[in-house]
Amino acid sequence: MVARVAWAFQGPCQDEGKRILDELIERWTWESFWDGGTSGFQYEPRTNANVDVFWNASFVGMCSLELGSCTSYERNDARLGQFAISTKLLRGSDLRQGTGMFLRGLNESRVIRQSNNPTSRRQPDNAGSFEHGGTVVSIPTPGREVVVQRNASGFQTCVVTNNNLPPLGRPNSIRNRITPDNLSAFEAWLKYRLHAGPVGTKSEYLIPYYAPTDPIVYLLIRVNGVTESVIFVLTKPSGTDWQIGGHFDPKESPTQIRRLAPLILSAKMTSVFR
């Protein structure tokens, strides 16, 4: 059964609405600095915009005619999680009606298809096989679909009017060189998972300034002063642990290295040596 969508349209913006907008702007600043743009829409700095922000226990987002978009992020406790969905919002439309339609769309189930990689030489653990004329034929397992029911109930909304949207420069944690409270725990986690290079080499894991609420932390790995790779670390929803999400190296991902390495160096906070 599909849950009903309920939201409470409010009048003049309360402090919570402004706080949500500030949180979104900080996220867009983070995305713009590391990724070169914002997720799902084109941010237009110095735009005088009316922004209809919305939030519940699972989502945070906004709609704006001036920005031409509705966009949303999943909420993981005190932080914004991954980008969820966006849609275009045409100028001349009714802002509140556009927000309402977007919130109804958030109620739709999200389907994640996990298909087997046909180029992989490694067969799935549960792949079957049968012998025919002395030849073993693999039976690949079908792709799986995971259906996630979104929690689109209990939305609150608030229109923040006449916002002169700021330019997106450096994230606050980098701009003000704020050392996060969990840095020592992060360094200990990093030392445990990354290993020193061959004998006679000096490995450096360079950590830029980050905020505990950042969804990703990029790390530059250098061996004897030469860039070896860039890895990205994902913050788990609990906020007290991390996992390595992946890496870029100069041979396979030269464009990513050229873009990310200078940014990490410009935002350097500390290094871990092995």
Residue ranges of the domains in the chain? Answer: 7-111+146-168, 183-273
Structure confidence at residue 121 as a pLDDT band (50, 70, 90): very low
Q: What pLDDT sits at residue 239?
A: 63
Tokens of 212: 């505990």
Tell me the per-residue pLDDT of 67-116, one tens digit each, with 9 for 90 and over: 999 999 988 777 888 888 899 988 888 999 999 999 988 876 665 554 44
Instruction: Report pLDDT for 11.
Output: 47
Mean pLDDT of the region 193-220: 87
Most confident of 93-102, 143-152, 191-200: 93-102
Q: What is the DSSP letter of 47?
A: -
Average pLDDT over residues 134-142: 38
Spatial CB neighbours of 83, under 8 Å, sequence gap ≥ 6 = 39, 40, 71, 72, 73
List the structure tokens of 6: 């309920």
Can you give the pLDDT at residue 22? Answer: 92
Rounded Cα distance, 93 and 48, in Å: 17
pLDDT band of residue 162 (cuts 50, 70, 90) is confident
Query: What pLDDT does residue 143 have?
Result: 52
- Per-residue pLDDT band at 137 (split at 50, 70, 90): very low
Amino acid identity, position 21: L
pLDDT value of residue 241:
83
pLDDT band at 249 (very low <50, low <70, confident <90, very high): confident
DSSP 137-199: EEEPPPPEEEEE-----SEEEEEEEEEEPPP--S-HHHHTTPPPTTHHHHHHHHHHHS---ST
Q: How do residues 19-71 score in pLDDT, each as one tens digit?
A: 999 999 999 999 999 999 998 899 999 999 999 999 998 899 999 999 999 99
Whether residue 168 is predicted with pLDDT greater than 90 in this model: the reply is yes
Distance between CA atoms of residues 10 and 99, nearest Å: 13
CA 198 and chain centroid, separation: 34
Predicted pLDDT of residue 127 = 32
Q: What is the pTM of this model?
A: 0.78
